[in-house]
Amino acid sequence: MNIKIVVDSISDMPSELITKYGINVIPLLVRFGENEYKDGVDLTADKFYERVAAGEWPTTSVPSVGEFAELYERLSSGSDGIISIHVSSKLSGTYNSAVQGSGHIGSECPIEVVDSQQASMGIGMLALVAAKSVENGDDLPTVVSKVNSAIPKVQCFALLDTLEYLQRGGRIGKGAALVGGLLNFKPILKLSDGEVFPYARPRSRKKGIKKLIETATDFGPLQEAAVMYSTDSAETSGIIESLSNLTPDKVEPFLARMGPGLGTHAGPGSLGIALLTN
């Protein structure tokens, strides 16, 4: 079966996975003032965080219905189906834009749009499920069924240096319960049912990293794991080593960079883990 997989750039999927499985990434738009950039296309993570560090404040917007329709039209040629997996509809309008875009193509190629209820490599975990299902020769309904079955098995946690970026971007959701009295804490947030919830309030970054590892261990053993960072990859080595003990054959978790789309809301100094549980 020739089934195409689409994700948005909030998935933060490493380039090696995108290349290996032929995954198509539609970029969100990032703005600095009047200037607009395509996430990961004409604005790299390095350049993005440099501008944020210099005091510029970014905003994001979703791909248009027309951009989705154009991508689906192009991918539909010779395809048996398209599965399009996107950031939680409670955090972004990307899913709705994708649904509308799927109704604007002339091809009879079936398109299934999935609300991941996740962000970053939480989306990536589901894209991997889809990719392995396609690799197995499954038809589109089976691929979609496997992805939907995996949604409740995905766990995603983020240790933030500050909640300022989530607050400014209006994406804080239930995490608002953490605002106030946070001067001596480093917030850990969890994505649940597509929303951001408070999870823990460690008193230091070191304790926050330890909590991430303990959390992953509580969910182990794991099918897949990923470690995400925004600006400091050096801090990921210990997390990767610990999570390797939880995966089949001690395979190292994927290392993913939080790109401009997610970095707009998570900010510099963020770390995260995405887990696909059994």
Q: Does 203 share its domain with 230?
A: yes
Q: Does 273 share its domain with 136?
A: no
Closest CA to 237 of 220, 253, 261: 253
Tokens at 57, concatenated: 């404040």
Q: Does 140 share its domain with 171?
A: no
**Largest Cα–Cα distance in the chain?**
56
Q: Does 100 share its domain with 14?
A: yes
Domain boundary (150, 177, 192) is at: 150
CATH number for 243 = 3.30.1180.10
Please state whether beta strands 188-192 and 154-159 pair in parallel, antiparallel, or not at all (unpaired): antiparallel
Domain boundary (150, 181, 203) is at: 150
CATH number for 14 = 3.40.50.10170
Q: Does 135 share its domain with 224?
A: no
Q: Does 50 share its domain with 7?
A: yes
Structural domain containing residue 237: 153-277
Q: Does 143 share its domain with 170?
A: no
Per-run averaged pLDDT (10 residues), the chain, 278 residues: 96 97 98 96 96 94 97 95 97 97 91 98 98 98 98 97 76 50 74 92 93 97 97 96 94 96 94 97
Q: Does 227 share its domain with 161?
A: yes
The pTM of the whole model exceeds 0.85:
yes
* String of DSSP letters for the chain: --EEEEEEGGG---HHHHHHHT-EEEPPEEEETTEEEEBTTTB-HHHHHHHHHTT--EEEEPPPHHHHHHHHHHHHTT-SEEEEEES-TTT-SHHHHHHHHHTT--S---EEEEE-S--THHHHHHHHHHHHHHHTT--HHHHHHHHHHHGGGEEEEEE-S-SHHHHHHT--GGGGGG-SS-TT---EEEEETTEEEEEE--SSHHHHHHHHHHHHHHH-SEEEEEEEESS-GGGHHHHHHHHHTTSGGGPPPEEEE--HHHHHHH-TT-EEEEEEE-
pLDDT for 181 equals 45
Q: Does 12 share its domain with 137?
A: yes
Domain boundary (150, 173, 206) is at: 150
HSE value, Cβ hemisphere, 13 Å, CA-based, for 6: 30
Q: Does 208 share its domain with 129?
A: no
Cβ–Cβ < 8 Å for 266, 161:
no
Q: Does 109 share its domain with 54?
A: yes
Number of domains observed in the structure of the chain: 2
pLDDT for 180 equals 44
Q: Does 229 share its domain with 106?
A: no
